[in-house]
Chains A and B, each alone.
Chain A
């Protein structure tokens, strides 16, 4: 086509449409059932690999290294901030009235972690947190 192009504004159209199902209803899966039922009772449910002993939070049906089925366990390890960031602007560059602080919360020496919004307190890597709301994402307060 290389040689035949027009540039006139009104001879180049665009066509607006969507590519979206109305809605998605995701099941949380076998491990998710254990995790979310635990969350309702303010518990953090992980899963432990019978072969290598790693504990995954949130619970995963299988160990990513040994690839064997995990056993579900309640995790009581201390939650802490593995990393954090503060969102000041959205994608279009509009400044947020109140900056939003996001953190990845890990639990003691378990594997994995859960995303959280930090509602109050001075964030830094390694700081311990208290979970205020048990949902995804968690709402936490820096101790």
Chain B
């Protein structure tokens, strides 16, 4: 692995999002186009300037189209170009900009449109039923598992090992849904209290309704280019300086769920590339993956931003608030903005891009920011992708 000095410099110069909603009229192609068009407009480019397209989308069983990358290519501007889709479960959203990074850094591409889309609403009886098929088909699926079982098992183990209470964990949901009030794309922004969380519908104890992010339709896109293109089109490029991803083995039943070791490996890969030794000191703003409130804390520890079991301590000290030392999920995160799986990870990357560019509007954090991090998570308690950016 070469350190940062040897890599061609790669920058983000545009980003776009659609609304995140429980149900959208647009087809997946139209959603991909809406987000891609906005990203091109912000970058000041036209489609004919783009030479490669990278697409990210999670299970085909949601949108209801097999080989979904081929179907989405049209809406992502991929026609008559190199266009491919990457897929690492929920971690896909951050894998997309990482893939776009190596498309440019390898020299094969110069101006890449990176698009992530998910439409969960077509599946009946309920999108959650599609998650029955993510398990081992022979050993686990016959138990008719619901997706939330695995999160609840991880959350309960995390609470047990680190002696953390549901009241402390609920603070994350309160923080993120409040941050989302400043986000025009948000689906589940709300002013709630810890009490509201503890009174909400019990889904799979210890997970209750307000501990979770909603099912959503939505798309996100970024324009990622080489250094000389970036300098020609903007005087505030945001550089991709660290990328890292790791998949643990499939045997989630055979390991300590309280600590995401695979995320630690992914983070160290990205930190090594970006030249970061003390993440909790050198990173100004973070967007850790938060499909569930406890997961933000679980990931903050895996990212080495907090010691094991101590994320809640810093949370209660306000370190992760919008005006804290290390603002976490200033966008409102999946809990507040929504969770269209692949697009969710890219939305969080875009949030960091806008923070570093200084154009996050009402979501802009107080402190000056120079280094930001976005992280996504996925598969069977097993995958993490990390991207580090600087302005």
Contact = CB atoms under 8 A, between A and B. Distances in A.
A29 B47 contact: no
A30 B130 contact: no
B161 interface: no
Contact of A30 (B26, B36, B47, B138): B26
B27 A25 contact: no
A35 to B, nearest CB: 12
Interface string B10-37: 0000000000000011110110010011
Given A15-B138, A17-B137, A17-B141, A67 B33 contact: yes
B138 A27 contact: no
Given A21-B130, A24-B123, A29-B27, A62 B138 contact: no
Contact of B122 (A24, A30, A66): A24
B46 interface: yes
A23 interface: yes
Contact of A21 (B24, B26, B33, B123): B123
A23 B137 contact: no
A21 B27 contact: no
Nearest to B61: A21
Nearest to B75: A62
Nearest to A19: B133
Of A21, A28, A30, A32, which is in contact with the most chain B CB atoms at under 10 Å from its CB? A21
B199 interface: no
A64 B64 contact: no
B79 interface: yes
Given A17-B141, A21-B124, A65-B48, A27 B27 contact: yes
Nearest to B138: A15
A81 B171 CA distance: 63
A63 to B, nearest CB: 9
A33 B37 CA distance: 21
A118 interface: no
Nearest to B29: A29
Most B C-beta atoms less than 10 A away, residue of A29, A65, A67: A67
Nearest to A28: B27
Interface in A26-53: 26-33
Interface in A66-110: 66-68
B124 A67 contact: no
A61 interface: yes
A4 interface: no
Nearest to B46: A67
A21 B46 contact: no
A122 interface: no
A7 B36 CA distance: 53
Interface residues of A, number: 24
Contacts, number: 68
A20 B40 CA distance: 36
A78 to B, nearest CB: 26
A10 interface: no
Contact of B79 (A23, A28, A64): A64
A22 interface: yes
A61 B79 CA distance: 15
Contacts of B40: 67
Contacts of B26: 27, 29-30, 61
Contacts of B130: 21
Given A21-B61, A25-B124, A30 B25 contact: yes
Interface string B69-87: 0000011010100000000
A64 B74 contact: yes
A27 B27 CA distance: 7
Contacts of A26: 27, 64, 122
B192 to A, nearest CB: 31
B107 interface: no
A3 to B, nearest CB: 22
Given A21-B124, A26-B64, A67 B30 contact: no
Interface of B: 24-27, 29-30, 33, 36-37, 40, 46-48, 61, 64, 74-75, 77, 79, 122-125, 129-130, 133, 137-138, 141-142
23 contacts: A15-B138, A19-B61, A19-B133, A20-B61, A21-B61, A21-B64, A21-B124, A24-B124, A25-B124, A26-B122, A27-B122, A29-B27, A30-B25, A30-B26, A30-B30, A31-B30, A33-B25, A61-B26, A62-B30, A64-B79, A65-B47, A65-B48, A65-B79
In order of increasing CB-CB distance, the 3 nearest A-B pairs are: A29-B27, A67-B47, A24-B64
